[in-house]
Structure 1
Amino acid sequence: MIVMGVDPGSRKTGYGVIGQGAKGFSVLGSGLIRVDGLPSLNERILRICTALEEVIGIMKPDCVAIETAFVGRNVRSALILGQVRGAVLATVMRSGVTVREYAPREVKLSVTGSGSAGKEQVAAMLHRLLELGDEPRSLDVTDALGIAYCDLSRGSGGGFTQDSMMRRGKNSRKQGWSTFVDDHPELVA
C-alpha cells in the first residue's frame, strides 16, 4: 500500500509518500512545492496542481490523504486555503486516486499520542517512527508525512472518503453509526 499525504498551502505545499510493506512503513519520497515567487493566487494554484499531478504519476499512490479544512481567526487566509485545498482535491480525484480526509487532531493523535501536539512534536516523532535521520525537513513536509502515516496507521480506510462525505447530510448525526457500519463491515462481529 502506498499513501501520499498532502499539506496544501498557498505559498508552500508539502507532500510525503509512505509505503507499507512486510517490514513496516518506509518513506518513498517527499518534497516541498514552493510557489511564493508567483504573483497571482491562480498561477500558484496551477503550479501546485501541475506538480502534484507529476508526483502522483511518478509515485502511483493507492490513496492520497489530506487534512480536513481548518478555520482559524483569519477569514481571508481560510478562504485562500480553501481555494488551494479544493483545487488539490479536484486534481487528485481527476487522477483517479482515492482521497481520504483526517481532522488535524486525528493526525496529531495517531503520530504523537496527543491530539494537541505542536508541529515540532509531530516532526520529532515522525523522525523517530520513520527513521528520517538528522536531515532537517520543512514542517510542511513533515505534516504531509504525518497525514500519510495517519492513514496507514488507521489501516488505510479510517478517514472520510469522497463517497462517505457525500452520504453525510442534514441527518449525519443520526446516520453516523449506520454509515460507519456500512463503511466498515470488517469491524462488525
Structure 2
Amino acid sequence: MRILGIDPGLRTTGFGVIDIAGQSRIYVASGCIRSGEGSLPTRLKVLLEGIGEVCRLYQPEQSAVEQVFVNVNPQSTLLLGQARGAAISALVLAGLPVAEYTALQVKQAVVGNGHAAKEQVSHMVQRLLHLAGEPQADAADALACALTHANHASGGLANLGMKSRRGRWVSL
C-alpha cells in the first residue's frame, strides 16, 4: 500500500510518500510545495494543484493529513485551516480516502512522546525510513503523518493495545 502524508501550511506544505510492504515502511519521496507570495486564492490554487500533481506522479492509495491546532493568533489559524482545506480538497479530487491525525498522535506514534520536539520527529523519521540525511522539517512532518497512518491502517497501534482518545494514543 502506498500512503501520502500531508503537513498543511499556507506558505509551505510538506508531503511524504511511503510504501508499506509487510512490516516494512519504505521511503518513496518527500518534499515541499511552496505557495509563494500573492493573494490568498492564488496561493491556495498553488497548493491544490501541487498536491494534485504529487497524487498523479506517485499514485498513492491512502492519504493522511495533520489536523490544525488552534493557534494564539486567530488569523493564522484561519489561514492554516484554509490551506488544510485546499490540501484535503486535492486529495478528495484525486479519489483518495483521507485520514486525519493530531500533532500529538503523530508525535506519539513516531517518537513515543506526544510532546516531542520537531527535531526528535525528524530524527525518528530518518531512522525509521533509513534515510541518509534528515528531511526538511515540513517534509519530515508529512512523512511522520504517513508513518502514523501506516501504523494505524495496518492495525499496528491496535495490535500494540493502543487506541485514539481525544487526540491521543492511549492503552486499551
Shorter chain as denominator, the TM-score bin is: 0.7 to 0.9
Asked if the contact 1:151/1:157 (under 8 Å) is kept, the reply is: no
- Looking at CA atoms only, which structure, 1 or 2, has the larger radius of gyration? 1
Residue 153 (structure 2) aligned to one of 133, 155, 160: 155
**Do the aligned partners of residues 7 and 157 (structure 1) sit closer, same or farther apart at CA in structure 2, a change above 3 Å counting?**
farther
Letter of the aligned partner of 2:26 in structure 1?
S
Equivalent positions of 1:68-147 (< 5 A) are 68-134=67-133, 136-147=134-145
Give, in angstroms, the shift of residue 153 of structure 1.
Answer: 1.2
Higher strand share: 2
| Residue aligning to 2:26 | 26
Secondary structure in 1 matching 2:153: coil
Distance 2:138 2:21 in 1: 25
TM-score in terms of structure 1 length = 0.79
Distance 1:100 1:155 in 2: 9
Gaps of 5+ in 2: 157-162, 164-172
Distance 1:156 1:2 in 2: 12
| Residue aligning to 2:159 | none
After superposition, give the CA deviation of every residue in 1:49-107 in whole Å (9 maximum; x if it has no partner). Answer: 10110110111111110012211101110000011111111121121110000111010
Ranges of 4+ aligned residues in structure 1 off by more than 4 Å: none
| Residue aligning to 1:172 | none
Give, in angstroms, the shift of residue 23 of structure 1.
Answer: 6.2
Secondary structure in 2 matching 1:16: strand
Secondary structure in 1 matching 2:119: helix
Asked if the contact 2:126/2:135 (under 8 Å) is kept, the reply is: no
Asked if the contact 1:109/1:115 (under 8 Å) is kept, the reply is: yes
Give, in angstroms, the shift of residue 155 of structure 1.
Answer: 2.7
TM-score in terms of structure 2 length = 0.86
**Do the aligned partners of residues 82 and 20 (structure 1) sit closer, same or farther apart at CA in structure 2, a change above 3 Å counting?**
same
After superposition, give the CA deviation of every residue in 1:2-59 in whole Å (9 maximum; x if it has no partner). Answer: 11000111111100000011460111111111122x3112111101110110110111
- Alignment: residue pair count: 157
Percent identical among aligned pairs is 39
Secondary structure in 1 matching 2:31: strand
Gaps of 5+ in 1: 159-179, 181-189
Higher helix share: 1
